[in-house]
Amino acid sequence: MTGVIIPVVALCLVVLLIPLTGMDYHLKRIVRFQKRRFKGGSGPVAFSILGEQGKQKLQVPLSDIRDLVVSLQLGTSMESTLTGSLAKAAEQFEHRGVLGERLRRNVDARLSTSPESVLEGLVQDLDCPQLEETLDRIRMAADGGISYNRVLAVSVESIEEDIRGNVETEIQKAPTQLTLPMVAGVFFPALVLGMLPLMVFAVNQMQSP
């Protein structure tokens, strides 16, 4: 009986300590990373057959991507070309973190080829499905004779919907995330005090002949 009580008590303590120490966040990241590996290495970090580390895509706030697409939409709405809009956006976003740095690099290296090439470079650099969808719409616009301003407006609306959805999800998750630490903080000391006599009794039983 004693041999069963101690592992059960230890397991309860570990389960309660995981949320309090923040280890549940790291465990979730490990699970997501393993899922991406088993799907063929399509995640942000992939390893080739030779074991070399693949190119790691960078994370940027979705609001920054929205602002970039808005800038391109405004530029094309004022009868500017997509090429000119990208050049202007590179100046506006030059000091705006990772997005500005990557945008400037791709504009300098690829804009002379085509504006689509600049966006292709950004898609390769950044982990952002919404940016890839925007590039697909621009390609379809070029093939179908649709104005860039129109497809960029659709992209802006789609990205704003994604941002709102992310905010709503975080709001819905907040009560659950706050409740567990509060409950654990109130009942953990009481649980420890309640189990302390059992643990002392179990240790005494083990030490007795």
Residue 201 lies in a domain: no
Helix axes 115-125, 97-110, angle to 10 degrees: 140
Residue 52 lies in a domain: no
**What does the pLDDT look like over 87-135, one tens digit per residue?**
999 999 988 899 999 999 999 999 999 999 999 999 999 999 999 999 9
For the whole model, what pTM was predicted?
A: 0.60
Residue 71 lies in a domain: yes
Residue 126 lies in a domain: yes
Residue 55 lies in a domain: no
* Residue 56 banded pLDDT, cuts 50, 70, 90: confident
* Residue 143 banded pLDDT, cuts 50, 70, 90: confident
**What does the pLDDT look like over 167-208, one tens digit per residue?**
888 887 766 666 666 666 666 666 677 777 777 777 777 776
Please give the tally of structural domains in the chain.
1
Q: In which residue are the tokens 């409950």 written? A: 183
Instruction: Give residue 130's pLDDT.
Output: 94
| C-alpha to C-alpha distance for 19 and 185, rounded to whole angstroms | 10
Residue 24 lies in a domain: no
Residue 101 lies in a domain: yes
Average model confidence (pLDDT) across the chain:
76
Taking every pair of Cα atoms in the chain, the longest distance, rounded to a whole number of angstroms, is 93
Containing structural domain, residue 99? 62-164
Helix axes 62-77, 129-144, angle to 10 degrees: 20
More confident residue, 8 or 66: 66
Residue 73 lies in a domain: yes
Residues 6 or more apart whose Cβ sits within 8 Å of residue 44: 36, 56, 57, 59, 127
